[in-house]
Structure 1
Amino acid sequence: MALAVEAHARGRRTLLVDLDPRADAHAWSLSAGLAAPPTLSLPGYHGQAERLRALSFGHDLTVVDTPSDPEILGAVLEVAELVLLPCRPSPLDAWAAADACEACLVARTQTNPRLQFAVVPNAIDTRTTIGAALPRDLRAMGLPVLDARVGRRVAHAEAMADGSTASLDDPDSPAGQDIGELLDAVEALSARCGAARHLHH
């Protein structure tokens, strides 16, 4: 949600698609009003992947919030250009990220050769050993790690509770900068992937 809002605030034509049965992103968007990008709720969506591709037409960025349901994830992986996999500093989360990366590799091999994916270190407290070491540990596992991280900051939850985001409330705060840097990294990766595809053709 914060990523979509940051893109929307920068003037990107942004669509937020909520596939989670709880529809948290859609509920938040109703409280956020004009601060939120256009948001479409498709809870428990089990339709064709091509519908997701069609929804993205006319947008610079379509952010899809997914549950862990394998069928829903499979549909998204068929059409996504970039998958972000948030990972908190925990061995269990790291193992789950590795499994998700494997699913992305399978999708890229079988159905979507354009698919890129990266792990995003999330809820990081760099004052702890495990938090500071997470990006290095993920790379040691052979996982692609995005050149941005999101810190463990209460400002994110407080802003969401008020129908806002940390980057809207205070772009220069550490929490706001986290989200700005996350979008910068996403756009840089997308640009590199686009350039690589152009050279390939």
Structure 2
Amino acid sequence: MIVALLNQKGGVGKTTLALHLAGEWARKGKRVTLIDADPQGSALDWSEQRAREGLPRLFGVIGLARDTLHLEAPELARDADHVVIDGPPRVAGLMRSALLAANVVLVPAQPSPFDGWASGEMLKLIAEARIFRPQIIARFVLNRCAARTIIARETAEALAEHDPPVLAARIGQRVVFADAAQSGRLVFDIDETSPAAREITALAEEIGSLVR
């Protein structure tokens, strides 16, 4: 399975979700490769920090911020159970290549009426990719949700009838994600029984159910 996390809006948590999904699948014994397709290289930076901290390598991280991604990702997938693509913001060629590479496209969005879930350009790119690969599965995923807020509920309700639809699993606004990122860790490394860890597990399981 090749999963791409894409949104033209920056700051929605693509890298955090990509790293944690890769880590969750690796913890379950899967062979995982993460492709850092963002020219900023945040996932590569995280991987280097993890090595400096002397933490075990859970999965490989490869920098491939180029528009031949749709040709190279399937080759990498031959030696992995899952490939996770951390996509770029606002780089149309790279975005299109990542869309054509993926089986599952996740569009992270924060619960706000002004956030990326309303991006007509992102939806247009998904529609274009489906002309060539109609089997692409696309879903929104609500990220950085404050607990029990009206806006989170309203955003979920608005996306319930949307195409692409929104996943049931959602990720909370939790300081532990930022703490983990700075030290090359994942929330599982800090506390595998935490609410954050349980949310990531639920998200990974729901994504896996899409392609069974």
TM-score grouping bracket, smaller chain normalisation = 0.7 to 0.9
2:163 maps to 1:163: no
SS at match of 1:143: coil
Q: Deviations along 1:125-164, whole A, 9 cap, x unmatched?
A: 1332102322112124443111210111111111111211
1:55 shift after superposition:
1.6
Residue 159 of structure 1 contacts residue 166 of structure 1 at CA under 8 Å; is this kept in 2? yes
1:60 shift after superposition:
0.8
SS at match of 2:111: coil
Q: Tell me how far apart the structure 1 counterparts of residues 85 and 22 of structure 2 sit (CA, whole Å).
A: 9
Identity %: 29
Greater helix percent: which structure? 1
1:63 shift after superposition:
0.2
1:102 shift after superposition:
3.3
2:10 maps to 1:13: no
**Range that drifts further, 25-34 or 181-190:** 25-34
1:142–1:160 distance in 2 versus 1, CA, 3 Å: same
AA aligned to 1:50 is: L
Residue 70 of structure 2 contacts residue 97 of structure 2 at CA under 8 Å; is this kept in 1? yes
Q: Tell me how far apart the structure 2 counterparts of residues 173 and 47 of structure 1 sit (CA, whole Å).
A: 39
2:140 maps to 1:119: yes
1:78 shift after superposition:
1.3
1:67 match: 88
TM-score by length of 2: 0.83
Q: Deviations along 1:15-60, whole A, 9 cap, x unmatched?
A: 00001111100110122232441110123x1326212221211211
TM-score by length of 1: 0.87
1:10 shift after superposition:
1.2
> Gaps spanning 5+ residues in structure 2: where?
1-18
Q: Tell me how far apart the structure 2 counterparts of residues 5 and 59 of structure 1 sit (CA, whole Å).
A: 14
Q: How does 1:47-62 map to 2 (within 5 A)?
A: 47=68, 49-62=70-83
**Range that drifts further, 180-189 or 33-42:** 33-42
> Gaps spanning 5+ residues in structure 1: where?
192-201
2:47 match: 29
Measured on the aligned residues, the alpha-carbon RMSD in Å equals: 1.6
**Range that drifts further, 52-61 or 115-124:** 52-61
